[in-house]
Structure 1
Amino acid sequence: MSLQIKNLSKSYGAQLALSDINIQIEKNEIIGLLGPNGAGKSTLMKSIAGVLDIEQGEILLDNESIKANEIRTKNRIGYLPEHNPLYQEMYVREYLNFVASLHNVSDERIEKVIDLVGITSEKTKKIHQLSKGYKQRIGLAQAILHQPDLLILDEPTNGLDPNQIIEIRQIIKAIGESKTVLLSTHIMQEVETLCSRVILIHKGQVVQDAPIEDFRGKYRNVEDAFVHYTK
């Protein structure tokens, strides 16, 4: 799978959120998308996922425009936004059945994903009854249910306790062995644990895009690199 972002810009009225973004991804890896609050990370992820309209530039998935081929390309992308949009009154299995029906996913695949994200014991409960950690697992389940080639995760461990964070990281790491994962997080340890590459955005522009080893070679850690490029 290849992802190409060419000269992508996005504005909200007079505010420029993204300015001439160019990114190329050619192999399966976990990529950390970093930047301060308001840097444009969520806008970039929403643009790739097809949630926001592309105003300037283009995004290609295997040389296919996601704007011109919206349905086909969206079927190849999984997306977990920062604010996990779940139907709170639905039962867990009922919700995943609904998501599966949109992608023609089999019951066997649903059960496999339920087991993978660790919600077997909760699948007969209503979503609103569950902890935030389990809700994040359900959000992750819906994002990977159709076996997407590209998985986009916006702050997937935000607000979780240490044990839940470790469990979600293990799931993401397993997925990243065979898929491309674009991961936004403010937890630098998470980046160093999971990511092979870092894309750093500041004020709507890419200020650094390099293998994580390059950051380790020049700075004590990713946090020092983050401060250097964004202060």
Structure 2
Amino acid sequence: MSIEVKNITKFYKDQKALNNVSFSIKKGEIVGFLGPNGAGKSTMMKIITGFITPSEGDVLVCDYNIKTNKLNVQKHIGYFPEHNPLYLEMYVKEYLLFNASIYKIPKIEVEKIIKKVGLTSEADKKIKQLSKGYRQRVGLAAALLHNPDVLILDEPTTGLDPNQLIEIRSLIKEIGKNKTVLFSTHIMQEVDAICNRVILINKGQIIADENLVELKKNQEQIIEVEFDFRIEKQFIKTIPNLKSADNIHDTSWILTFNTTKDMRPAVFDFAHDNGLKTLKINTKNKNLESLFQELIPN
């Protein structure tokens, strides 16, 4: 196993942040660590990286125990912390060369990493001049410099605009082809876009551990649609594979289909055949969303 977490408990004075947490991650997996703010995600990641010490339990990374062999654990880990601390007055290449000197990494490797994460055009700029998306790339580059086997990414997509999100998602997926990635987020769409497994944590406890491929096998598809005119439910029911239809407001409907096939074309065809215009249409991953809502209610 690349990561083995065994019965980890963490107290901050009288507050229990983690309660007997256990899970393991195999080499090559991209695992989403999903949960609401304050669930214990960052605490668990800091324990895995050796940044803080657990009150109870053990963590092994690439067979090294964090308690007895912290240095070797950290050699195998690339860590992207939640707030991505950077020296803003340094130039991008200067900052990465500085980090490389700590690991005694040749300059040529820095050039390779700059190219790999798409920073070539920004390499000679000061970090404070960069957009949030490029700053995230600098953080990822620093985490990758020593070619770690395991990447720990704590909220790497927070605050990015849609274009930056797509770029960072693609970069993480590419990196994940050759490394084990534990990816922390509170956004379900990020897990669905990047990961092949999800671990759900709430109030310091693991409450679900699911393979996304298995989760999606029998998933129901939800489509939220708004037409330009009201229509009776009996007509809506003529759409193929429709399991249920709920009129949520005037001309807006929530349609649930018992198929993974994209049913948006069928909804568009229905609208056309009934002389309607489709003003809005959105799809949702019911299983992942419902799993989150069922296990972590508001």
The alignment of Structure 1 onto Structure 2 pairs a total of residues equal to: 231
Residue identity (%):
55
CA contact (8 A) 1:215 1:225 kept: no
Task: Indicate whether 1:230 and 2:296 are aligned.
Answer: yes
CA contact (8 A) 2:92 2:125 kept: yes
State how 1:72-111 maps to structure 2 within 5 Å: 72-111=72-111
State how 1:52-131 maps to structure 2 within 5 Å: 52-131=52-131
How far apart are residue 221 of structure 1 and its match?
3.3
Instruction: Using structure 1 for the length normalisation, give the TM-score.
Output: 0.96
Q: Distance in 2 between matches of 1:102 and 1:229?
A: 43
**1:169-228 Cα deviation digits (max 9, x unpaired):** 111001111100000112222211211111000110000112013333366231221111
1:47 aligned counterpart, secondary structure: helix
2:277 aligned partner: none
Q: Distance in 2 between matches of 1:137 and 1:162?
A: 15
What one-letter code is carried by the residue in structure 2 that aligns with 1:223? E
Alignment root-mean-square deviation, CA: 1.3
2:209 aligned counterpart, secondary structure: strand
Q: Which runs of 4+ in 1 moved over 6 A?
A: none
Q: Distance in 2 between matches of 1:67 and 1:88?
A: 33
1:151 aligned partner: 151
1:28 aligned counterpart, secondary structure: coil
State how 1:1-231 maps to structure 2 within 5 Å: 1-216=1-216, 217=218, 220-231=286-297
Q: Give unmatched runs, 5+ long, in structure 1.
A: none
What one-letter code is carried by the residue in structure 1 that aligns with 2:85? P
**1:6-30 Cα deviation digits (max 9, x unpaired):** 1100011111100001111122110
Q: Give unmatched runs, 5+ long, in structure 2.
A: 221-285
Q: Distance in 2 between matches of 1:112 and 1:86?
A: 20
Instruction: Using structure 2 for the length normalisation, give the TM-score.
Output: 0.75
Q: 1:57/1:218 Cα in 2 relative to 1: closer, same or farther (>3 Å)?
A: farther
Worse overlay, 185-194 or 199-208? 185-194
How far apart are residue 128 of structure 1 and its match?
1.1
User: Which of the two has greater helix per residue?
Assistant: 1
Larger RCO (CA under 8 A, 6+ residues apart): 1
How far apart are residue 84 of structure 1 and its match?
0.7
